Amino acid sequence: MDNLTSSPEINAHDARFQKMADELAWFVNDRGRMPMRVQDDADERRLGIWLTNQRIAHRKNPDSPKQKARFAQLTAAAGDWMNPERPDWNLKLDAVAAFLDEHGRLPRAAAADHTEKLLGMWVALQRRSAKEDGIGAGRLAMLDEAIPGWSTTAHDKTFEQTVEKLRAWRAAGNDRIPSPRSGSDEERSLGWWLHKQRSAVIHGQRTAERIGMIDAVIPGWSDTIDRD
């Protein structure tokens, strides 16, 4: 009975901890530093006070299962979070590399496991920063060496695979643009995919690189919305 009455409170504390850990991960990646408790910004001040309290709690009882779990989560979120001076980018890189070695895949930002989720968020932020030229050549080289394939998402792989299917379809003697109304399952599937790509281009949702990949296989594919 005691467990039933205490469970909601425990879950509420855990949920708040996870929410704050998420905020910490975004703050450190966005600002490149730890939040400070003495700040005019109320949100940063709140986060800085919370982080200070986590450091105190960990120092008081570092060997408890709860603190060990939270230490791992905060390390994934902010690297060397016990050091208020700076985040440890290298530590997070090592954590992702270790995850890849253990599981044979990259961590997912949508994972149910919170430690994996934070590592996945970190990888996603590195991808975004790389696309915006926000990562130096040195760090890019470190990412490439420690985490092979870090810059490629599942969506990227699916896109590239479909482009290769288009290439094979054209190589089989089909010199037309595949139609979404074709009687052939293969052509109809490719036709609908191209139709979706045209719509994405119209709405500014495709990069020049992706457009170029399709252009190289089917020149003129984006000139029409539908073709039989």
CA distances in angstroms from 208 to 15, 106, 204, 214, 215, listed in the order given: 41, 26, 10, 10, 10
172 and 102 fall within a common domain: no
pTM value is 0.44
For residues 186 and 169, the answer to whether their CB atoms sit within 8 Å is: yes
Q: How far apart are CA 169 and CA 167, in angstroms?
A: 5
Q: State the sign of the Cα–Cα–Cα–Cα dihedral 135, 137, 142, 147.
A: positive
139 and 181 fall within a common domain: no
- Position 90 in a domain: yes
Question: Looking at the 3D structure of the chain, how many domains does it have?
Answer: 2
E-strand spans in 88-225? none
For 114, the domain range is 2-146
138 and 159 fall within a common domain: no
Q: How far apart are CA 72 and CA 91, in angstroms?
A: 11
Q: Which of 103, 119, 146 is the last residue of a domain?
A: 146
pLDDT by position in tens, the chain (length 228) = 344 444 555 588 888 999 999 999 888 877 777 887 766 788 988 998 899 899 889 988 989 999 999 999 898 888 878 876 555 677 788 889 889 988 988 998 888 998 898 899 889 888 888 887 777 787 888 888 888 889 877 677 788 889 999 999 999 999 899 998 999 999 999 999 999 899 888 888 777 888 888 999 998 888 754 434
9 and 109 fall within a common domain: yes
Q: Which of 83, 114, 146 is the last residue of a domain?
A: 146
166 and 128 fall within a common domain: no
- Position 28 in a domain: yes
99 and 198 fall within a common domain: no
Give residue-wise pLDDT tens across range 79-112. Answer: 878 876 555 677 788 889 889 988 988 998 888 9
- Position 228 in a domain: no
Which one, of 194, 200, 167, lies nearest residue 182 by Cα? Answer: 194
Q: Write the CB contacts of 183 (distance below 8 Å, at least 6 apart in sequence).
A: none
- Position 86 in a domain: yes
